[in-house]
């Protein structure tokens, strides 16, 4: 089944950059957090090679922020995750799995600590606002929980730092990975983080003054012209090569963080207050029976998946492919599989069910080793 059009609706929010992105040749959009997100420009391969060599501007306004502010803000954020946030510093970004009472993953946001009593949760495509509000009410916490009007713009690619320094000064180059600070633009302070949804990293500008959107875009574009800047979007090839998982595609609320390789973000023994702790302890002690792994497989170049592909040992089902794509760098199909314990060892041969038959596959440990340019 092919979805040819995204029907306009007041339920799907446009962004301050939507018209600019459209004018740059976006060929398709999706809805992410009820917000427009471009999904393609030209061919996927063209955009992929450009991203590896140059610099792109991505409209990622769909990365909505859930702001938690107040006396009990730190307590509420810690209730939501098994990751120990007690040593988090102001100016730090942290990748944080959120779990429910059964240990199921609700979301995997980046948490930005703006102050000791103020946090932003930059969320994936699932509702966190109501979950946070429910916990605040249920635990009678002294906090305010809301969605601020923030529209992130990502600057990604190997020339991202050069472009950002041209516009914001050399100080932006001093930002460490997953660190943010404020930089002045037209007399207004903008929160800029060294982060982004690609393995090589980049920057995200958290614009909270929408009137500056057009000016910011144009300024970046002018500074980036000598660097061969283009408009782009999160790239499926690059994210799978880099081992980056996507909530809703590779895992969801039916999966727990131990199955999804998030053990290093789960301080189960040190954090006693998070929701779902007893469930995760039980899952850890009993042992998981499946795990997200990488896979490479032969056959014709794989198109973006409309449904999950079966994984087999002979005629016996042993898992499923969650995301897959043809890698032009590796000259092979690669992806992620949720695979049974009996077959999750690296190097295990499997069969991948594709249109017209089954292809030879092999279990890998992501990220995939991509040859340098």
CB-based contact 204:60 (threshold 8 Å): yes
Whether 193 and 235 map to the same domain: the answer is yes
Whether 92 and 105 map to the same domain: the answer is yes
What lies within 8 Å, CB to CB, of 325 at 6+ separation is 44, 236, 237, 240, 302, 304, 333, 334, 335
Whether 133 and 212 map to the same domain: the answer is no
Residue 159 is assigned to a structural domain of this protein? yes
Whether 169 and 25 map to the same domain: the answer is yes
Question: In 93-219, which ranges are E strands?
Answer: 93-95, 98-99, 105-107, 110-115, 118-122, 144-146, 151-156, 180-185, 188-193, 202-207
Whether 48 and 183 map to the same domain: the answer is yes
Question: For the chain, what is the domain count?
Answer: 2
Which neighbouring-strand residues pair with 114?
none
Whether 106 and 127 map to the same domain: the answer is yes
Residues recorded for the chain: 373
Whether 140 and 101 map to the same domain: the answer is yes
- pLDDT greater than 80 at residue 306: no
Question: H or E element: which one contains 331?
Answer: none
Percentage of residues in the chain having pLDDT higher than 90: 88
The whole model's pTM is what?
Answer: 0.95
The dihedral of CA 79, 85, 86, 92: what is its sign?
negative
Under DSSP, is residue 314 helix (H, G, I), strand (E, B) or coil?
Answer: coil
The residue with greater pLDDT, 201 or 78, is 78
Whether 134 and 154 map to the same domain: the answer is no
Q: How far apart are the first and last CA of the chain?
A: 36
CB-based contact 192:183 (threshold 8 Å): yes
Residue 2 is assigned to a structural domain of this protein? no
The CATH number of the domain where 30 resides is what?
A: 3.30.1360.120
Whether 119 and 191 map to the same domain: the answer is no
The CATH number of the domain where 91 resides is what?
A: 3.30.70.1400
Residue 327 is assigned to a structural domain of this protein? no
Residue 1 is assigned to a structural domain of this protein? no
Whether 138 and 154 map to the same domain: the answer is no
Residue 340 is assigned to a structural domain of this protein? no
Residue 29 is assigned to a structural domain of this protein? yes
CB-based contact 124:252 (threshold 8 Å): no
Domain that holds residue 69: 65-147+256-286
- Could you give the CA distance from residue 152 to residue 32 in angstroms, rounded to a whole number? 14
**pLDDT-derived band at 1, boundaries 50, 70, 90:** very low
Summarize pLDDT for 34-44 with one digit per residue, the tens.
Answer: 999 999 988 88
Summarize pLDDT for 156-187 with one digit per residue, the tens.
Answer: 999 999 999 999 999 999 999 999 999 999 99
Q: Using omega within 30 degrees of 0 as the cis cutoff, is the peptide bond preceding 367 cis?
A: yes
Q: Which residue has the tokens 């930089």?
A: 183
Residue 198 is assigned to a structural domain of this protein? yes
pLDDT of residue 6: 75
Residue 293 is assigned to a structural domain of this protein? no
User: What is the number of other CB atoms lying within 10 angstroms of the CB of residue 372?
Assistant: 5
Whether 158 and 198 map to the same domain: the answer is yes
CB-based contact 186:167 (threshold 8 Å): no
- Could you give the CA distance from residue 86 to residue 358 in angstroms, rounded to a whole number? 49
Whether 95 and 26 map to the same domain: the answer is no
């Amino acid at each position: 089944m092919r979805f040819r059009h995204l029907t306009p609706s007041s339920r799907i929010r446009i962004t301050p950059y939507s018209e600019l992105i459209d004018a740059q040749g976006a060929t398709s959009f999706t809805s992410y957090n009820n917000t427009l997100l471009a999904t393609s420009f030209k061919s996927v391969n063209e955009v992929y090679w450009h991203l590896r060599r140059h610099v792109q501007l991505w409209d990622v306004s769909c990365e909505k922020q859930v702001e938690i502010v107040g006396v009990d803000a730190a307590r509420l954020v810690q209730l939501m995750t098994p990751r120990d946030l007690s040593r988090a510093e102001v100016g730090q970004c942290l990748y944080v799995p959120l779990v429910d009472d059964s240990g199921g993953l609700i979301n995997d946001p980046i948490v930005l600590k703006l102050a000791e009593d103020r946090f932003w949760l930059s969320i994936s495509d699932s509702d966190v606002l109501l979950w946070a509000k429910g916990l605040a009410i249920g635990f009678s916490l002294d906090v305010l929980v809301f969605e601020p009007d923030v529209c992130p713009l990502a600057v990604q690619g190997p020339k991202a730092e050069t472009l950002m320094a041209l516009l914001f000064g050399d100080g932006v180059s001093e930002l460490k990975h997953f660190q943010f600070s404020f930089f002045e633009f037209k007399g207004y302070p903008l929160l800029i983080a060294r982060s982004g949804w690609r393995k090589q990293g980049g920057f995200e500008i958290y614009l909270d003054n929408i009137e500056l959107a057009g000016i910011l875009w144009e300024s970046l574009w002018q500074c980036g012209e000598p660097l061969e800047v283009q408009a782009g979007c999160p790239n499926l090839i690059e994210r799978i090569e880099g081992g980056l998982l996507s909530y809703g595609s590779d895992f969801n609320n039916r999966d727990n963080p131990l199955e999804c390789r998030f053990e290093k973000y789960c301080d189960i023994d040190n954090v006693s207050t998070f929701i779902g702790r007893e469930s995760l302890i039980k899952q850890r002690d009993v042992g998981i029976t499946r795990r997200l792994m990488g896979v490479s497989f032969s056959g014709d170049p794989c198109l973006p998946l409309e449904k999950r592909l079966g994984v087999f040992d002979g005629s016996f089902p042993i898992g499923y492919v969650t995301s897959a794509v043809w890698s032009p760098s590796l000259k092979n199909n690669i992806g992620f599989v949720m695979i049974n314990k009996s077959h999750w060892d690296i190097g295990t041969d499997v069969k991948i069910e594709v249109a017209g038959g089954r292809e030879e596959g092999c279990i890998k440990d992501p990220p995939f080793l991509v040859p340098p340019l």
